[in-house]
Amino acid sequence: MNANTLPTLTCLGKPLDLSPNAFGQLRRSDDIAHAGSALRQRMCEEGYLYLPGLLDPAEVLGVRRHVTDRLAELGLLDERQPRLDSSYRPGGGALKSSHDLASNNPLLEHLLYSGAMMDYYRRFLGGPVRHFDFTWFRAMGPGHGTYPHCDIVYMGRGTSNLYTSWTPIGDVPISVGGLMILEGSNRQEARLRPYLARDVDAYCTNRPDAADIESGAKVWQDWDGRLTSNPVTLREKLGGRWLTTDYKAGDFLCFGMGTVHASLDNHSDRIRLSSDSRYQLASEPADERWIGAAPVGHGVAGKRGKAC
C-alpha cells in the first residue's frame, strides 16, 4: 500500500492525510497466530491483531453467497453484475446496518462461533471462551463510513477483557471502505478517560426527554457513542497514524475495547459486507444487553437511568 498511488481517501467526507506519518498499513500478526502469550503481548503493545488468512476463504465466500442472495431478493443488487460482487443498485435504498442478515444464518454463525475463530480466541485468552449472542452485521453501501469510537461505551457493563472480531465477508479493498485503527490509541487511556467511562445507554431521569427514552420513542438521549465526527483532527490531537489495508476473504481484525477505530467511506459501487462479533473468557461477567435468546441491546430494557 503506497500512499503515492492511493486515491483520495475520506472518512465522514473528510479527506485523510496520506503522508507516511499520518497513514499506514496494519501490522500483520499471522506469524504468531498460534502463540497465545505472543498474541497477548502484541495486543498490549498495539491494541489490535491483524490476522490475514486465519479463516477458511471458501467458508467466508459461502457466507457471502448466502448474504448476497438475500440482498438480491430485497432488490438491493445490480443484477447485471455477478451477485458475489455485491454491486449496489442505484436507487435501491440506503444501507447502514442490516442485523436481519445475521439472523437465521447458520453459515455465519458457524464461521464466527466455531472452528478457527473460537480456536484462536481460546489460545489468545488462555481459557474457555464465550461469545456474545448478538451478532452485528454491516452492509454498507456507497457513502460515508463509521465515525471514530471505542467499543467499551456500547458494551462496558461486563468484563473489560472483551474483544471484537471485525470480519470482512469477502474481499474489502480500501476503496470499498474497510475498518481503520488509530495507531497507539490503546495507550491513550488517561486522555480518553472521560469518554471511556461513559455508557451510551445511560440517560438522565431529570431531563425533559427522559420519558421518551423510557418508552422507547427515542433511542439516544443526547449521544450515540461517537468520540468525534472529525477523524482528521482526532489523529492530530492523539497522534499516531490511521492504519488499514486491503482485506481479503479469510482475514479478520481483533481489537480491544479501548482501541479507537472507524471506517473509510465507500467510494465504490459495491456494498461492503462485514460482521462484528465479541468474545471473552467464559469465567468473566458479560454485558447483559448482548446475551440470551433475544438480547435487549440498546432497547428500553438496556437503558440505565441516573440523576444528572
Which residues touch 12 (CB under 8 Å, ≥6 apart)?
A: 144, 145, 147, 229, 230, 231, 262, 265
Determine the average pLDDT of the residues in 189-197: 97
**What pLDDT is attached to residue 6?**
65
Q: Which residues, in sequence order, are bridge partners of residue 10? A: 15
Q: Identify whether 3 is part of a domain.
A: no
Residues forming a β-bridge with 242: 23, 182
Q: Which of 65-69, 71-75, 145-149, 150-154 has the lowest mean pLDDT?
A: 71-75
In a domain, 13, yes or no: no
- pLDDT beyond 60 at 192: yes
Determine the average pLDDT of the residues in 260-279: 97
pLDDT in tens, 73-108: 989 999 999 999 999 998 776 665 577 888 889 999
The answer to whether residue 294 is domain-embedded is yes
Q: Is the pLDDT of residue 5 over 80?
A: no
Total count of residues recorded for the chain: 308
Residue 179: which residues within 8 A CB-CB, separation 6 or more? 166, 244, 253, 261, 262, 263, 274
pLDDT interval class at 1 (50, 70, 90): low
Q: How many domains does the chain have?
A: 1
The CATH code of the domain that includes 120 is: 2.60.120.620
Domain range for 69 is 18-306
